[in-house]
């Protein structure tokens, strides 16, 4: 039992597990931001564009069952809006990170410049 607990401790304290836990916590917090963006910004705009159409009341019956297709349509629209928001946010973050990486890394010298510098250095040594 002691060995089992030690193995579990090693597993739980491994770097990638902790990184994943932090990612899940940040993801949970980020979810409320994205949901607010969708519910408080995009959904009202779409409501104005579509004339306030609400799909939640759409349904049809099969036998004794009532199929609430409108709720499903609302869920699909909500998912697409959330996915679009996450895409735009991640695209923006990746663009900023790419710009930072370009600023931080000095431009690589061309191969012919490197060869010419080596020749110059060799000629200096001979003198």
Q: Given a cut of 80, is residue 119 above it in pLDDT?
A: yes
Pair type for strands 65-67 and 60-62: antiparallel
Domain ranges of the chain: 1-52, 54-127
Q: Looking at residue 15, what is its pLDDT?
A: 66
Render pLDDT for 35-75 as a digit per residue (tens, 0 to 9).
888 778 877 887 788 787 777 788 888 988 988 888 888 88
Distance between CA 127 and CA 124 in Å, rounded? 5
> What angle (nearest 5°) sits at the alpha carbon of residue 99, between those of residues 98 and 101?
65
Give 74: exposed, middle or buried? Use CB within 10 Å, 0-12, 13-18, 19+: middle
Q: Are 59 and 67 in contact (CB under 8 A)?
A: yes
Q: Given a cut of 80, is residue 106 above it in pLDDT?
A: no
Q: Looking at residue 23, what is its pLDDT?
A: 84
Q: Looking at residue 126, what is its pLDDT?
A: 83
Mean pLDDT, range 13-24, rounded to an integer: 78
Q: Determine the 3-state secondary structure of 61 from DSSP.
A: strand
Residue predicted with more confidence, 105 or 45: 45
* Length in residues, the chain: 127
Render pLDDT for 82-101 as a digit per residue (tens, 0 to 9).
888 888 888 988 888 887 77
């Amino acid at each position: 039992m002691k060995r089992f607990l030690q193995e579990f401790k090693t597993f739980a304290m491994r770097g990638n597990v902790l990184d994943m836990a932090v990612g899940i916590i940040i993801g949970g917090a980020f979810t409320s931001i994205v949901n607010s963006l969708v519910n408080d910004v995009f959904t009202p705009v779409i409501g104005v564009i579509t004339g306030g159409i609400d799909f939640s009341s759409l349904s049809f019956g099969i036998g004794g069952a009532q199929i609430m297709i409108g709720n499903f349509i609302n869920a699909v629209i909500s998912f697409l809006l959330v996915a679009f928001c996450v895409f735009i946010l991640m695209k923006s973050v990746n663009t900023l990170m790419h710009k930072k990486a370009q600023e931080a890394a000095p431009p690589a010298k061309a191969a012919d410049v490197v060869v010419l510098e080596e020749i110059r250095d060799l000629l200096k040594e001979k003198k």
